Structure 1
Amino acid sequence: MKKNYYFIQQGVNKVSSANPEVQQKVPSKKGFELFDFLYKYGTIITILALIVIFSITNPAFMDGGNIVNILRSISIVTIIAIGITISLSVDGFDLSVGSTVSLTNAVVISMFVWFSQNIFVALLAAIGAALVVGAFNSIMIVKVKIPDMLMTLATMFIIQGIALTYTKGATVSQNMVMPDGSFSTGTIPEVFSKIGQVPWIIVIMIAAVLLVHIFLNYTKHGRYMYVIGGNKEAARLSGIPVNKYKITAYLMSATFAAIGGIVLASRVMTAEINSGAPYLMDAVAAAFIGSSVLGAGKPNAFGTFVGAVLIGILQNGLVMMSVPYYAMDIVKGTVLALALALTYYKKK
């Protein structure tokens, strides 16, 4: 046995001396320094580069009024994306937020226009409808064990159909024609219209970002969500109630979608058909872009806000450059693809 071991060892030594590549090497990180830098600061650099480019092409881009317009335009997207961020923190993914926005938009406006309710009843009805959606998602995911993406995709179509059925496929607005031929008599309170105006729409966005940032990073419950997102089985073995936190995440995601729907309703003062659908892609992009901001490597509220700012600057700058609206999705899709590439390549 010793003799055989001697010959084997001698063979290994000969191969190693003949092929230096076989010898153990200390991994060099030089090849990854640029990638790591781009992973951490690529989004910030892109935002700064876009600001410079758009400012050169159109000096009005940096006007105070235009900056406020960008912040206002990303407010609803950011609020919705914050909910998606929470679902991602537990390794979930809520695709139903766009339809939930449409539903809550229709509910809150109909409470005013059809039923002449006050603002508190209207807001509670909208949030209550969203929580039912969140509860349905969480029960089917946690109890029935349907994968998150597939379940919320199904819910997206279900809620979209419910919203269309509820409004009978019509736009809900003041003085609309009712099915019986009469006109609606309810009015939208003036105080409600203030929610979607500057500065309140921006204040609500900033408050949502700060609250979720504090919750996820500085509370026990937020840290538990990150642990679940990192390794669900390890979290369960550590005594963390995984199912409870997954349910909470989807209820919170639905709540932020409801807030987004309410703000949208206040901004446009009507309930359009599938009004929340256009916000889904932007919100998803913002949440995934945010995972790599400053090298976070996980869903986070601050990164989501930065991702929304990037999308808002892109849209605003391209509009000012007179780029056709139908080309916008090409740019946004490309940005999302790059963000996903960074996120998943880093995980390898």
Structure 2
Amino acid sequence: MSTPARATWRRLAAVVVLAASVASAGCGSREAPPGTEQGDTAALPNYQRPEHYKVHRTADLLVPMRDGYRLTCDLYRPGQEGGAPRAGRFPGIVGDYTGYGRRLGERTASWLAARGYNVIVCNTRGAQGGNGASPAPESTGPLFPWQPQEQEDDYDLIEWLAAQQWSTGKVGQYGGSYGAITSWLVAGRQKPPHLAAIVPMMGARTSTPSSRTPGGIRTNEGDARGQWTQACSQATGEPTCSDRMTALWAAHPVYDRFWEQQTVDLEVYTVPTLAIAGLQDFFTNGADGAYKELAERDDFRVLYGPWNHVGVPVNGVAFNPQGIVLAWLADR
């Protein structure tokens, strides 16, 4: 889409590590993978686009899925003085597709809409979300994070956004943690034809709890994923999630068809991807594994920084991905 953005990315190595990341390696963080390029924020894409538009927000929009179910969403479009949507066609973005609620994505969605994007932020099927606006009846029902139904809904959402008369037909997706996994899965397993690029942050290309049972062997390094299932109901507002997901994951202690349906095969992966990872995040191995498979591709990059899972900075390098996300999506 943007020649300046494309030129910026071509100057970067496949993997870029912020300088402070290496400085903090002696404080319990992981070291950068071999063969990476180190640099400070000045070496990263300093891509900006002026705020050209007001923001028009439609709350509690119901988007139909192929089976008649409707996702509850908030839509942010480029607007004009007086509050009406701006005329014309704009590229689309699915923002942070998770069960955690739509309010968490409001700031970034508004920022991108003011720079010329149609951004939609939705509750996943069944999620009420402690941070999610007023849930509609269509949002009720069981939540099944990262499983095929949720992936298919993501596909339908992307294609719905691309088909609107105010859309250019190109759609990107970004998300952190839960939203990073949904981004990887829709790109790698569902392959919607109008998905142009993704930016997964602090996440993995699989929901397999390998950090807990690598190869099926339980470790002594904690159980981050098990803790997540226990907190699922509180985090998503879906009362049955914790009990159901804890039992479901326990029923599949090793990699099988259940986990295969929630894992991206990088050998057949085709979507342009910028993966953002924190060296103090338990999901860093997700970016490492993708780099090993995709490093030779021109449309794949990994950015490592000195952040934990929620983006808390170390040594003064703040986690502020908006400009980098914009640069990556503008280049597709």
Q: TM-score, normalised by structure 1?
A: 0.26
Larger radius of gyration: 1
- Where relative contact order (Cα < 8 A, 6+ residues apart) is larger, the structure is 1
- Greater share of helix: 1
TM-score by length of 2: 0.26
